[in-house]
Structure 1
Amino acid sequence: MLLLLVGSDVSVMESLQSSGRPFFGWATKNTVQPLNLADVLAGEPFLLGEFPAASQSRAVLETVGSGERTFSAIAAQAGGGGALPAGILSPLLTTLQDKRVLTADLPLSVKPDSKNRRYRIADPYLRFWLAFLQRAIPLIERGRGDVALERIERSWSTWRGRAIEPLIRESLLRLLPNGEWPETEAIDGWWNRQNNPEIDLIGADREPVARQVQFVGSVKWLGNQPFGRHDYDALVRDMLAVPGAAPDTARVVVSPCGVVEGLPLTACWGPEDLVRAWQSR
């Protein structure tokens, strides 16, 4: 029998092999060091192993990684000189989803909308690699890492604001249902074909087609300002476009800087709540 014991508390792990302990003389120690600069160069080897640089799958991945989310936009950009035909792009998207590299999201409401998919890179690190690091390699090789860093910093807030939304939705699903929303079993976003409006959070009793929309919400993760009156008014205006939402539907917010006083919100979650969602209970 081979028994593997893994732990991050080094002193505890070493004590298991000390004199008088059951594993004394039986165990072999192997310390896993933190990732070094070579180890974190993981994006390119992974992509080359799964998707050769000249492949259409690679072109689709890079297109989604650059920020394109709709079928038509992906087809136009990934096709190079001309749009990829639907008969080619559809199976490519299906294969990438089967490999769990790509995720397709649908708007959540009481009205079915199966043709209004939005695609995104499933893995957060690969998403960051495709958005920033892959394009920065030629600059870094020329010794201009400062330019690469400046470009990342310039786009970081906008990129982070959208990249964190899937994590927030998954975190809230770990907090709900609760006493206030005992039937909330699905959380996603909602958008129309023009992405105007686009709602960050929809809480419902089921997906992909809900029986009831239980709350609508906004994720404000840009800058260091709290969720304010202007943000609230925009949410109240836009929520009426969501099938199943009504003027009295509960309104919620996720913001690292809180909200200004006096806004009639049902709930506001912050970073501490999101972290708590992943802790053992």
Structure 2
Amino acid sequence: MVGFVGRAGELAALERHLGWVRDGRGDQRGRALLLRGRRRVGKSRLVDVFCQRAGVPHVVHQATRGEDPGRERARFLAEVRRSSLPDTALLAGVTRVDDWDTALRQLAAVLPDDAPSVVVLDELPWMLEGDPVLEGTLQTVWDRVLSRKPVLLVFIGSDLAMMERLSAYGRPFHQRGVEMVLSPLSPREVRAMTGLSAADAFDAHLITGGLPLVCQEWREGESRGAFLARALEDPTSPLLVSGERMLAAEFPTTLQARQVLSVVGSGERTFGTIAAAAGSAGRPLPPGSLNPALRTLADKRLVAVDTPLSSRPGDRDRRYRVADPYLRFWLAFLGDGIPDVERGRGRVVAERIERGWASWRGRAIEPVVRDALGRLLPDERWPEAREVGGWWPRTNNPEVDLVGADRPAPARRICFVGSIKWQDNAPFDRRALAALARDALAVPGADGDTPLVAVARGEVTVDGLAATYGPEALLEAWDRPVSSG
């Protein structure tokens, strides 16, 4: 199915949850599933396809942000009446109710007792924003009514932090649902979708972020330049509009957090440089404003906070980056270029991307490589390497791309130190090895006997390395589950 390359495993997982309901395996007949994932990764589409294939009665309610709770309940009941659930005629005269308790009990009345069904509440966090009492109501109605039916109740949400909190200890729905995370397409899945070489598939992943709607626009075997030139001819292309829609959904009112995100996306990484760039009239943004904005961005999983990995604590030398590769690319190149695209000057934006591509990619690939190595390790060579990061001092000189350690900082043992050289037609040579050997000695916990590692887009033309990884080897990381450590 177009747009579902790599989603067979997720569809199978949903079918297993429905099979659990169908077979009556638990002490409760129903099962609640909390499905979360970044915006635009295809959560709604995945569940729609699953419902179509499952062949059981189902209803899907898509919430509207900012909707009046009474109108939201009315829309919910209308969806139930129009659904494939049996006995919906019982609700023929019910168009509006005063609370969610009544609305959910009306739903329960039309769920079958002797066959499985599926109920989907899409963007549950928006429903909770409009009516905070709903969280407790869901728990009450689930315990007393819905869980006694053979129903798979699916909650979908893009607010990752809120979806995680729903099942946290002390919250009404604690231990009442199972959790499922829908990730963007991996670099390996992007390669399958685009037909590119391993190296070029990583480029495509950095541009698309693994968002299915963007990936499916990439023609098989198409070069990076050709894809960008074609996409930037169309102001409505998913490559352009996905970023705007993501930001509009995340920041309907929080303008300061959006401004800080734009500053981080422009390349600023330290607290001081972010404050300076986000300020006005020559004055930096004060900590009392910047700290809450960064916390908001971290809670929303839009900004990642990195600390240097070594045998010393690293919390004082934090660095901030945009967590999502697509949004990082959009903020760096596309957001400011939309007016040019709308005036038919997409080539200007494409030229700007090409001029800045090598420098931007060199930084953007680093967290992807660390993620890949974190999935590949530990292995027989480094059985203790359970954490992969980078290292930098407060002066940022030297900056070491890769550090493998037995645990987060402060680590007991540094297993290896490495360098990433991700350039076209530029091998990892004797000069690169000499620079790595010199910089490795600055990493607390490393010494002259610490193994050295190279990650390169091109050739490695030097001996003396404990291990080397190229694009093909890195792609293998997504053939296996992440080690639990």
Match of 1:3 in 2: none
Q: Report SS of the residue matched to 2:316.
A: coil
How far apart, in 1, do the equivalents of 2:387 and 2:421 lie? 20
Instruction: Check the 8 A contact 1:204/1:212 in 2, yes or no.
Output: yes
Asked whether the equivalents of residues 78 and 84 of structure 1 are also in contact (C-alpha less than 8 Å), the reply is: yes
Segment drifting more, 90-99 vs 32-41: 32-41
Asked if 1 retains the 8 angstrom alpha-carbon contact of 2:401 and 2:419, the reply is: yes
Contact 2:424/2:457, CA 8 A, preserved across alignment:
no
Picking from 236, 245, 253, the partner of 1:45 is 245
Instruction: Please tell me whether Structure 1 or Structure 2 has the larger radius of gyration of its CA atoms.
Output: 2
User: Which amino acid letter does the alignment assign opposite residue 90 of structure 1?
Assistant: N
The answer as to whether partners of 2:375 and 2:480 remain within 8 angstroms in 1 is no
One-letter amino acid matched to 1:188? G
For residue 228 of structure 1, what is the amino acid of its counterpart?
D
Residue matched to 2:479? 279
SS at 1:47 equivalent: helix
1:115 counterpart SS class: helix
Contact 2:401 2:418 (C-alpha < 8 Å) held by counterparts: yes
Pairwise CA distance, 1:157? 1.0
Correspondence for 2:446: 245
Conserved 8 A contact 1:52-1:58: no
Corresponding residue SS for 1:214: strand
Q: 1:217 to 1:142 in 2, by over 3 A?
A: same
Aligned-partner Cα distance in 2 for 1:93–1:104: 9
Residue 147 of structure 1 aligns to which amino acid in structure 2?
V
Query: Matched residues in 2 for 1:196 and 1:27: separation?
Result: 60
Q: What is the rounded CA distance, in whole Å, between the counterparts of 2:345 and 2:4 in structure 1?
A: 39
Which of 290, 294, 309 is residue 89 of structure 1 equivalent to?
290
Q: Which residue of 1 aligns with 2:95?
A: none
Shift of 1:27: 8.2
Deviates more, 1:62-71 or 1:229-238: 229-238
5+ residue gaps, structure 1? 1-5, 14-22
Confirm whether residue 103 of structure 1 aligns to residue 285 of structure 2. no
Q: Would the aligned equivalents of 2:340 and 2:346 in 1 still touch at CA under 8 Å?
A: yes
- Match 2:313 to one of 91, 100, 112: 112
Distance (whole Å) between structure 1 residues aligned to residue 238 and residue 288 of structure 2: 38
Is residue 2:397 matched to residue 1:196?
yes
Where does residue 97 of structure 2 map in the other structure? none
Structure 1-normalised TM-score? 0.86
1:74 is aligned to 2:269 = no
Mean Cα displacement is larger for which, 99-108 or 134-143? 134-143
Q: TM-score, normalised by structure 2?
A: 0.51
1:258 and 1:268 in contact (8 A); partners too: no
Q: 1:142 aligns with which of 343, 366, 386?
A: 343
**Which consecutive unaligned segments of at least 5 residues does structure 2 have?**
12-51, 58-211, 218-230
Equivalent residue runs for 1:1-281 within 5 Å: 8=5, 34=216, 37-40=236-239, 41-52=241-252, 55-81=255-281, 82-261=283-462, 263-280=463-480
Name whichever structure is richer in helix by fraction: 2
Does the Cα contact within 8 Å between 2:370 and 2:402 map onto a contact in 1? yes
Q: Distance in 2 between matches of 1:98 and 1:78?
A: 19
Task: Assess if the C-alpha contact under 8 Å between 1:186 and 1:206 holds in 2.
Answer: yes
Q: What is the aligned-residue RMSD (CA, Å)?
A: 2.6
Shift of 1:55: 1.2
Give, in angstroms, the shift of residue 226 of structure 1. Answer: 1.1
- Asked if structure 2 preserves the Cα contact closer than 8 Å seen for 1:190 and 1:202, the reply is yes
Deviation, structure 1 residue 113: 2.1
Which position in structure 2 is the counterpart of 1:17? none
Question: Residue deviations 1:62-109, cap 9 Å, x none?
Answer: 000000000000000011222011121112111110111110000000
What is the distance in 2 between the residues matched to 1:238 and 1:280? 32
| Structure-2 change in CA distance of 1:53 and 1:159 (3 Å) | farther
In structure 1, distance between residues paired with 2:480 and 2:390: 27
Shift of 1:258: 2.5
Instruction: Write the deviation string for residues 177-203 of structure 1: whole angstroms up to 9, x where unpaired.
Output: 111100100000000112110000000
Q: Is the 8 A contact 1:107 1:189 kept in 2?
A: yes
Verify the 8 A CA contact 2:309 2:411 in the aligned structure 1: yes
Q: For 1:233 and 1:168, how far apart are their aligned partners in 2?
A: 21
Alpha-carbon distance in structure 1 between the residues aligned to 2:4 and 2:431: 48
Percent same amino acid at aligned positions? 52
CA distance in 2, matches of 1:141, 1:193: 42
1:153 corresponds to which letter in structure 2? E
Q: Is the 8 A contact 2:388 2:405 kept in 1?
A: yes
**Could you say what secondary structure the match of 1:63 adopts?**
helix
Q: Give, in angstroms, the shift of residue 280 of structure 1.
A: 4.0
Q: Deviations over 1:141-186 (max 9, x none)?
A: 2222111111100111111111111111111111111111001000
- SS of the residue 1:248 aligns to: coil
Whole-Å Cα distance in 1 between the matches of residues 317 and 286 of structure 2?
18
| Separation of aligned partners in 1, 2:237 and 2:458 | 36
SS in 2 for 1:103: strand
Separation in structure 2 between the aligned mates of residue 163 and residue 251 of structure 1, nearest angstrom: 22
